[in-house]
Amino acid sequence: MRLKLLHNPSVHGHTAYCAGVGWTKTGQQHELYSVSDDQSILKWNADGSLNGKVCDYSGSSESAKGGNTFCTSMQFLPAASGRGAAADSYLALACADGSFRLLNKSGKEEKRVDNAHTGAVICIRWNHDGSAIATAGEDGLVKIWSRSAMPRSTIAQHSRSVYAVCWSPDSEAVVYAYEKRLVIKPLQPRQRAIEWHAHEGVALQVDWSPVNNLIVSAGEDRQYKIWDSYGRPVFSGPPLETVATCISWAPNGRCFAVGCHNTVKLCDRTGWTYGRETAETGSITQVAWSPDGTRFGASGGNGSVVFGFVSERSMLWQHLDATLEDSGTIVVRDLNRQASETLHFRDRVMDFSLGFGALVATTSTQLHIYNSSNWSACHTEDLKEPATLIAQAPSLLALVDSTAISVYSYEGRLLSTIRVPGLRTEFLNHSTLAVAKDAVCIVDAQNPRVIRLFDAHTGKAMGSPVEHKVEVEVVALNHHGGGGDRKIALMDKNKDVFISLAHK
């Protein structure tokens, strides 16, 4: 896997400090919005070209005392399941005058909250289902607001500024950074907070992946670090050349990006570096990943907006090696015969998987299935929603999108669709979803102690859910034998492994 940066200095975008970026969907395409101290919000095409100005946000607020304000942070409402096509159409802007605003995609201000904080609102974040907002301020407060920007609670008070805040996967807690420490603070006042010393300098940024449940942080000590959900250290990166100014998980939880002065690094989920690219951007202020996790936009202190692309991702299965050479080309190499096949796709490949003698690739609109015995033949099916995860078994595969889990044969025939009320498909990954020839198994994102089993051919639940004593982190199904021999293997948060019959 490699990182490529696209930066075109000849594109005349912002003329001052660029505070943040965020993705939104327009029709079938995703666009990047950026906000700057030049009082403008611009939008960019996914290929890095400028698409024009959205609006000026220079209107004064009560707390600005008639003067212009400056944006410090931005985020679009997440496109959560069940909220429809316009789910991500609202943009939250945090401002240096202590206010924050909610805008629609055309730039019209729908709501403004003056005096939300004393001093600047440094960070603003939606929770994962878009039902609440968290803000962190120069006044040392962390506040929770409703979706309509009504105040709910102040969950933390400190004497120094809180520079970053992020929601937990279940949206029942937040993690925030103040001074050299990180704090996980539950929303329920009676629950105990978890606090630990994280950096030797001020902790500037924090992000919590809803997919792998890991926390990453960046600080003035020039380091980036990975923590588990209990504050225990997982990885500490080597010091960068300059202060680590931002950090952000990819939506699929497989990698994250770290930004510093004129530099962006791409790291895998264990912390090791995939690639490092430089551009004349000044300090990177924010990294925002596209929903498919194949690219990101980044804002720079000199007003630049750059685009990062993840390329050359590879997978190995037995004697076959598949590499995504560019956005529309996969090269498959047979290591036994010293031969290769080049597969071309009309649209950009969002994800691919290699296993059990088949290569499965998805674009934003189609599913492509190749058999290793005949690379010239391809089964192609149209998709209603872009897939976020591919899981393979010997005789079938599962695709996860924003609304359901769809099970297909390797001939491209839809076998079943699994829809469960409250199923948070965006939180599923290869550790929490398992597929066999007759069953699909998932860890319930809302209650990780529960494992649910479904018939792969009907989509219906198979028996009662399996309940474990503690949270389950990894689940697997055996692939041999018939339905009566099907077994579930799980590993819980204590790293203990259990095996159970799927049918009791």
The CATH number of the domain holding residue 161 is 2.130.10.10
Cα dihedral 109, 113, 117, 122, rounded to 10, equals -20
| Cα–Cα nearest to 125, from 175, 170, 87, 81 | 175
Which amino acid is located at 202 in the chain?
V
Going through 269-350 in order, the beta strands assigned E by DSSP cover 273-289, 295-300, 305-311, 314-317, 320-326, 329-334, 339-344
Q: What angle do CA 390, 393, 397 make, to 5 degrees?
A: 40
User: For residue 59, what pLDDT is reported?
Assistant: 55
Residue 328: inside a domain:
no
293 and 442 in a single domain? The answer is: no
**Cβ atoms of residues 5 and 307 within 8 Å:** yes
188 and 47 in a single domain? The answer is: yes
30 and 173 in a single domain? The answer is: yes
pTM, two decimals, is 0.88
Q: List C-alpha distances in Å: 192 to 176, 226, 286, 427.
A: 15, 22, 30, 25
User: For residue 112, what pLDDT is reported?
Assistant: 95
Q: Please give the DSSP secondary-structure letter assigned to residue 302.
A: T
Going through 350-477 in order, the beta strands assigned E by DSSP cover 351-355, 358-362, 366-371, 374-382, 389-392, 396-400, 405-409, 414-418, 433-435, 439-443, 450-455, 466-467, 472-477
User: For residue 85, what pLDDT is reported?
Assistant: 42
Residue 378: inside a domain:
no
Residue 333: inside a domain:
no
Q: Please give the DSSP secondary-structure letter assigned to residue 220.
A: T
Domain hosting residue 249, numbered range: 2-311
Q: How far apart are CA 243 and CA 477, in angstroms?
A: 44
Q: How far apart are CA 478 and CA 487, in angstroms?
A: 6
Q: How far apart are CA 400 and CA 6, in angstroms?
A: 30
**Boundary residue ending a domain (290, 311, 332):** 311
Residue 87: inside a domain:
yes
Q: Please give the DSSP secondary-structure letter assigned to residue 427.
A: G
**Cβ atoms of residues 229 and 213 within 8 Å:** yes
**Cβ atoms of residues 175 and 198 within 8 Å:** no
Determine how many CB atoms are found less than 10 A away from the CB of residue 420: 15
The pLDDT mean for the chain works out to 92
154 and 267 in a single domain? The answer is: yes
Residue 373: inside a domain:
no
Residue 68: inside a domain:
yes
Q: What angle do CA 269, 273, 275 make, to 5 degrees?
A: 120
Q: Dig out the tokens for 444 from the structure.
A: 């319930």
User: For residue 60, what pLDDT is reported?
Assistant: 47
Per-residue pLDDT of the chain (504 residues; tens, 9 = 90+): 889 998 888 787 899 999 999 999 877 678 999 999 999 999 999 888 999 999 988 654 444 444 578 999 999 998 753 444 445 578 999 999 999 999 999 899 999 999 999 999 999 999 998 999 999 999 999 999 999 999 999 999 999 999 999 999 999 999 999 999 999 999 998 899 999 999 999 999 999 999 999 999 999 999 999 999 999 999 999 999 999 999 999 998 999 999 999 999 999 999 999 999 999 999 999 999 998 888 999 999 999 999 999 888 899 999 999 999 888 999 999 999 999 999 999 998 999 999 999 999 999 899 999 999 999 999 999 998 889 899 999 999 999 998 899 999 999 999 999 998 878 888 899 999 999 999 999 999 888 999 999 999 999 999 889 999 999 999 999 988 776 788 999 999 889 999 988 876
Q: How far apart are CA 282 and CA 243, in angstroms?
A: 12
* Domain tally, the chain: 2
SS3 content of the chain, % helix, strand, coil (to 5): 0, 55, 45
Which amino acid is located at 177 in the chain?
A
**Cβ atoms of residues 246 and 206 within 8 Å:** no
**Cβ atoms of residues 200 and 180 within 8 Å:** yes
Q: Dig out the tokens for 60 from the structure.
A: 């004064």
304 and 437 in a single domain? The answer is: no
Model pLDDT for residues 452-488, shown as the tens digit of each residue: 999 999 999 998 899 999 999 999 999 887 767 889 9
Q: List C-alpha distances in Å: 436 to 129, 145, 162, 371, 489.
A: 30, 43, 47, 19, 12
Q: How far apart are CA 418 and CA 227, in angstroms?
A: 33
Phi, psi of 60 (to 5 degrees): -75, 160
**Cβ atoms of residues 238 and 271 within 8 Å:** no
User: For residue 2, what pLDDT is reported?
Assistant: 86
**Boundary residue ending a domain (264, 288, 311):** 311
Q: How far apart are CA 152 and CA 145, in angstroms?
A: 5
**Boundary residue ending a domain (270, 289, 311):** 311
